[in-house]
Amino acid sequence: MLLHIPDVLSCEQIAQMRAVLDAADWTDGRETVGAQGAQVKRNQQLPEASPLRRQLGEAVLAALARSPLYHAAALPLRTLPPRFNRYQGGGQYGFHVDGAVMALSGDAQLRSDVSCTLFLSEPDEYDGGELIVNDTYGEHEVKLPAGDLIVYPSSSLHRVAPVTRGARVASFFWVQSLIRDDSRRRLLFELDASIQRLTQTGADAAALLQLTGVYHNLLRQWAET
Ligand code: NI
Protein backbone atom coordinates (compact mmCIF):
# COMPACT_ATOMS: atom_id res chain seq x y z
CA MET A 1 0.00 0.00 0.00
CA LEU A 2 1.30 3.38 -1.05
CA LEU A 3 -0.26 6.04 1.18
CA HIS A 4 0.18 9.81 1.26
CA ILE A 5 -0.19 11.31 4.75
CA PRO A 6 -0.37 15.13 4.54
CA ASP A 7 0.71 17.71 7.13
CA VAL A 8 2.74 15.54 9.49
CA LEU A 9 4.85 18.63 10.25
CA SER A 10 3.64 22.23 10.55
CA CYS A 11 5.16 25.09 8.53
CA GLU A 12 6.99 26.31 11.66
CA GLN A 13 8.45 22.85 12.33
CA ILE A 14 9.61 22.52 8.72
CA ALA A 15 11.23 25.98 8.79
CA GLN A 16 13.05 25.19 12.06
CA MET A 17 14.29 21.80 10.79
CA ARG A 18 15.42 23.21 7.47
CA ALA A 19 17.34 26.06 9.12
CA VAL A 20 19.48 23.62 11.12
CA LEU A 21 19.68 21.01 8.35
CA ASP A 22 20.83 23.52 5.75
CA ALA A 23 23.69 24.55 8.08
CA ALA A 24 24.57 20.99 9.17
CA ASP A 25 27.61 18.85 8.33
CA TRP A 26 26.55 16.10 5.91
CA THR A 27 28.36 12.88 5.10
CA ASP A 28 28.39 10.43 2.17
CA GLY A 29 25.17 8.40 2.20
CA ARG A 30 27.01 5.26 1.11
CA GLU A 31 28.25 4.79 4.69
CA THR A 32 24.95 3.28 5.80
CA VAL A 33 24.19 0.78 3.02
CA GLY A 34 25.34 -2.66 2.00
CA ALA A 35 27.23 -3.49 -1.20
CA GLN A 36 24.09 -3.55 -3.37
CA GLY A 37 23.00 -0.07 -2.28
CA ALA A 38 26.48 1.47 -2.37
CA GLN A 39 26.74 0.91 -6.12
CA VAL A 40 23.65 2.99 -6.89
CA LYS A 41 23.42 5.49 -4.00
CA ARG A 42 24.62 9.06 -4.58
CA ASN A 43 23.44 11.34 -1.79
CA GLN A 44 24.36 12.82 1.57
CA GLN A 45 23.17 11.95 5.06
CA LEU A 46 23.41 13.36 8.54
CA PRO A 47 26.01 11.23 10.36
CA GLU A 48 24.42 8.39 12.30
CA ALA A 49 25.98 9.47 15.62
CA SER A 50 25.24 13.17 15.23
CA PRO A 51 23.30 14.69 18.18
CA LEU A 52 21.38 16.77 15.63
CA ARG A 53 20.16 13.62 13.87
CA ARG A 54 18.93 12.24 17.19
CA GLN A 55 17.22 15.49 18.16
CA LEU A 56 15.47 15.97 14.81
CA GLY A 57 14.60 12.27 14.66
CA GLU A 58 12.83 12.57 18.00
CA ALA A 59 10.88 15.56 16.68
CA VAL A 60 9.77 13.45 13.69
CA LEU A 61 8.67 10.59 15.98
CA ALA A 62 6.73 13.05 18.17
CA ALA A 63 4.95 14.40 15.08
CA LEU A 64 4.07 10.85 13.95
CA ALA A 65 2.64 10.11 17.39
CA ARG A 66 0.04 12.83 16.70
CA SER A 67 -1.09 11.27 13.37
CA PRO A 68 -3.95 8.75 13.66
CA LEU A 69 -3.77 8.14 9.89
CA TYR A 70 -0.11 7.11 10.14
CA HIS A 71 -0.87 4.68 12.98
CA ALA A 72 -3.84 3.17 11.14
CA ALA A 73 -1.72 2.66 8.01
CA ALA A 74 1.58 1.44 9.50
CA LEU A 75 0.41 -0.27 12.72
CA PRO A 76 3.94 0.29 14.03
CA LEU A 77 5.60 -2.12 16.46
CA ARG A 78 9.19 -0.85 16.24
CA THR A 79 10.61 2.16 14.38
CA LEU A 80 14.17 2.82 13.32
CA PRO A 81 15.29 6.27 14.58
CA PRO A 82 14.64 8.60 11.62
CA ARG A 83 17.55 9.57 9.38
CA PHE A 84 17.98 12.58 7.11
CA ASN A 85 19.26 12.77 3.57
CA ARG A 86 19.97 15.37 0.90
CA TYR A 87 20.17 14.97 -2.87
CA GLN A 88 21.68 17.71 -5.02
CA GLY A 89 24.00 18.19 -8.02
CA GLY A 90 22.71 15.13 -9.90
CA GLY A 91 22.48 13.02 -6.73
CA GLN A 92 20.21 9.98 -7.02
CA TYR A 93 19.56 6.52 -5.65
CA GLY A 94 19.10 3.83 -8.32
CA PHE A 95 16.63 0.96 -8.09
CA HIS A 96 17.13 -1.08 -4.90
CA VAL A 97 15.26 -3.02 -2.24
CA ASP A 98 15.69 -1.89 1.37
CA GLY A 99 17.52 -4.27 3.71
CA ALA A 100 15.12 -6.71 5.37
CA VAL A 101 16.63 -6.71 8.86
CA MET A 102 18.19 -3.68 10.52
CA ALA A 103 20.05 -3.19 13.79
CA LEU A 104 18.46 -1.15 16.54
CA SER A 105 20.34 -0.02 19.65
CA GLY A 106 21.70 -2.83 21.83
CA ASP A 107 21.04 -6.29 20.42
CA ALA A 108 17.58 -5.44 19.11
CA GLN A 109 16.69 -5.80 15.46
CA LEU A 110 13.93 -4.54 13.25
CA ARG A 111 12.34 -6.27 10.27
CA SER A 112 11.56 -3.59 7.70
CA ASP A 113 7.90 -3.91 6.65
CA VAL A 114 7.05 -0.28 5.92
CA SER A 115 9.34 2.35 4.40
CA CYS A 116 8.64 6.03 5.08
CA THR A 117 9.87 9.25 3.47
CA LEU A 118 8.98 12.60 5.04
CA PHE A 119 9.58 15.42 2.54
CA LEU A 120 11.33 18.51 3.97
CA SER A 121 11.77 20.49 0.71
CA GLU A 122 8.94 22.04 -1.28
CA PRO A 123 8.57 20.53 -4.78
CA ASP A 124 9.44 23.86 -6.44
CA GLU A 125 12.80 24.01 -4.63
CA TYR A 126 14.28 21.29 -6.87
CA ASP A 127 13.95 19.52 -10.22
CA GLY A 128 13.85 15.72 -10.33
CA GLY A 129 14.10 13.88 -7.02
CA GLU A 130 10.87 11.90 -7.46
CA LEU A 131 10.58 8.77 -5.35
CA ILE A 132 9.65 6.06 -7.85
CA VAL A 133 8.05 2.95 -6.37
CA ASN A 134 7.42 -0.22 -8.36
CA ASP A 135 4.68 -2.41 -7.00
CA THR A 136 2.27 -4.98 -8.43
CA TYR A 137 0.19 -2.14 -9.92
CA GLY A 138 3.09 -0.57 -11.82
CA GLU A 139 5.36 2.42 -11.27
CA HIS A 140 4.33 5.34 -9.04
CA GLU A 141 6.08 8.73 -8.92
CA VAL A 142 5.95 10.57 -5.62
CA LYS A 143 6.95 14.19 -4.99
CA LEU A 144 5.13 15.75 -2.06
CA PRO A 145 4.91 19.12 -0.30
CA ALA A 146 7.27 19.70 2.64
CA GLY A 147 5.80 18.17 5.80
CA ASP A 148 4.00 15.35 3.96
CA LEU A 149 4.82 11.66 4.40
CA ILE A 150 4.70 8.74 1.98
CA VAL A 151 4.35 5.21 3.36
CA TYR A 152 5.13 2.24 1.09
CA PRO A 153 6.01 -1.45 1.39
CA SER A 154 9.68 -2.10 2.14
CA SER A 155 9.48 -5.12 -0.18
CA SER A 156 9.01 -2.85 -3.21
CA LEU A 157 11.71 -1.99 -5.72
CA HIS A 158 12.20 1.79 -5.62
CA ARG A 159 14.56 4.61 -6.58
CA VAL A 160 15.06 8.37 -6.26
CA ALA A 161 15.43 10.20 -9.59
CA PRO A 162 18.46 12.49 -10.10
CA VAL A 163 18.11 15.99 -8.63
CA THR A 164 19.20 18.34 -11.40
CA ARG A 165 18.46 21.69 -9.69
CA GLY A 166 18.32 22.73 -6.05
CA ALA A 167 18.32 20.27 -3.15
CA ARG A 168 15.88 17.62 -1.96
CA VAL A 169 16.00 17.23 1.82
CA ALA A 170 14.00 14.49 3.51
CA SER A 171 13.74 12.31 6.57
CA PHE A 172 13.40 8.56 6.11
CA PHE A 173 12.88 5.58 8.39
CA TRP A 174 11.62 2.02 8.55
CA VAL A 175 8.92 0.40 10.59
CA GLN A 176 8.37 -3.13 11.76
CA SER A 177 4.61 -3.41 11.69
CA LEU A 178 2.37 -5.50 13.91
CA ILE A 179 1.18 -6.86 10.54
CA ARG A 180 3.98 -8.21 8.35
CA ASP A 181 1.87 -8.78 5.23
CA ASP A 182 1.13 -5.69 3.17
CA SER A 183 -2.25 -6.92 1.85
CA ARG A 184 -3.48 -7.76 5.37
CA ARG A 185 -2.31 -4.35 6.59
CA ARG A 186 -4.22 -2.71 3.77
CA LEU A 187 -7.42 -4.63 4.63
CA LEU A 188 -7.18 -3.51 8.26
CA PHE A 189 -6.53 0.08 7.15
CA GLU A 190 -9.60 0.08 4.90
CA LEU A 191 -11.77 -1.53 7.58
CA ASP A 192 -10.60 1.07 10.10
CA ALA A 193 -11.33 3.91 7.65
CA SER A 194 -14.86 2.65 7.00
CA ILE A 195 -15.53 2.27 10.75
CA GLN A 196 -14.40 5.89 11.23
CA ARG A 197 -16.70 7.11 8.46
CA LEU A 198 -19.67 5.11 9.71
CA THR A 199 -19.09 6.52 13.19
CA GLN A 200 -19.02 10.10 11.86
CA THR A 201 -22.20 9.59 9.84
CA GLY A 202 -24.16 8.15 12.78
CA ALA A 203 -24.51 4.53 11.63
CA ASP A 204 -26.35 1.90 13.68
CA ALA A 205 -24.46 1.52 16.98
CA ALA A 206 -24.86 -2.27 17.30
CA ALA A 207 -23.59 -2.86 13.76
CA LEU A 208 -20.65 -0.52 14.41
CA LEU A 209 -19.79 -2.41 17.57
CA GLN A 210 -19.84 -5.68 15.65
CA LEU A 211 -17.62 -4.27 12.91
CA THR A 212 -15.20 -2.85 15.48
CA GLY A 213 -15.05 -6.34 17.02
CA VAL A 214 -14.18 -7.79 13.60
CA TYR A 215 -11.32 -5.26 13.27
CA HIS A 216 -9.83 -6.13 16.64
CA ASN A 217 -10.26 -9.85 16.21
CA LEU A 218 -8.53 -9.77 12.81
CA LEU A 219 -5.73 -7.72 14.38
CA ARG A 220 -5.53 -10.28 17.20
CA GLN A 221 -5.27 -13.17 14.70
CA TRP A 222 -2.65 -11.51 12.52
CA ALA A 223 -0.53 -9.38 14.87
CA GLU A 224 3.04 -10.49 15.54
CA THR A 225 4.78 -8.92 18.52
NI1 NI B 1 15.26 2.61 -0.18
DSSP letters for 163-202: EEESEEEEEEEEEEES---HHHHHHHHHHHHHHHHHHHTT
159 CA → ligand 1 middle, Å: 7
The predicted structure's pLDDT at residue 98? 93
216 CA → ligand 1 middle, Å: 31
Counting residues of the chain whose pLDDT is more than 90, the rounded percentage is 91
CA angle 115, 116, 118 (to 5 degrees): 165
With both helix axes pointing from N to C terminus, report the angle between 182-200 and 205-222 in degrees, rounded to the nearest 10.
160
Residue 61: name the closest of 74, 45, 48, 42 by CA: 74
Per domain, the residue ranges of the chain are 3-177, 182-222
pLDDT confidence tier of residue 35, bands split at 50, 70 and 90: confident
210 CA → ligand 1 middle, Å: 39
> Euclidean distance between the first and final Cα of the chain, in Å?
21
Instruction: Tell whether pTM > 0.75.
Output: yes
142 CA → ligand 1 middle, Å: 13
As a whole number, mean pLDDT of residues 104-130 equals 96
Average pLDDT of the chain is 96
156 CA → ligand 1 middle, Å: 9
The predicted structure's pLDDT at residue 94? 95
Judge whether 147 and 16 are in contact, CB under 8 Å: no
As a whole number, mean pLDDT of residues 157-177 equals 98
Task: Report which DSSP code applies to 81.
Answer: P
CATH H-level, domain 182-222: superfamily: Rabenosyn, Rab binding domain (4.10.860.20)
pLDDT confidence tier of residue 128, bands split at 50, 70 and 90: very high
21 CA → ligand 1 middle, Å: 21
What confidence tens digit (pLDDT) does each residue in 76-114 have? Answer: 999 999 999 999 999 999 999 999 999 998 899 999 999
202 CA → ligand 1 middle, Å: 42
204 CA → ligand 1 middle, Å: 44
The predicted structure's pLDDT at residue 145? 98
pLDDT confidence tier of residue 38, bands split at 50, 70 and 90: confident
222 CA → ligand 1 middle, Å: 26
As a whole number, mean pLDDT of residues 125-136 equals 95
Residue 224 confidence (pLDDT) above 80: yes
As a whole number, mean pLDDT of residues 46-67 equals 96
207 CA → ligand 1 middle, Å: 42
Judge whether 160 and 95 are in contact, CB under 8 Å: no
As a whole number, mean pLDDT of residues 60-72 equals 97
3-177 topology per CATH: Jelly Rolls (2.60.120)
Task: Report which DSSP code applies to 204.
Answer: -
Task: Report which DSSP code applies to 147.
Answer: T
112 CA → ligand 1 middle, Å: 11
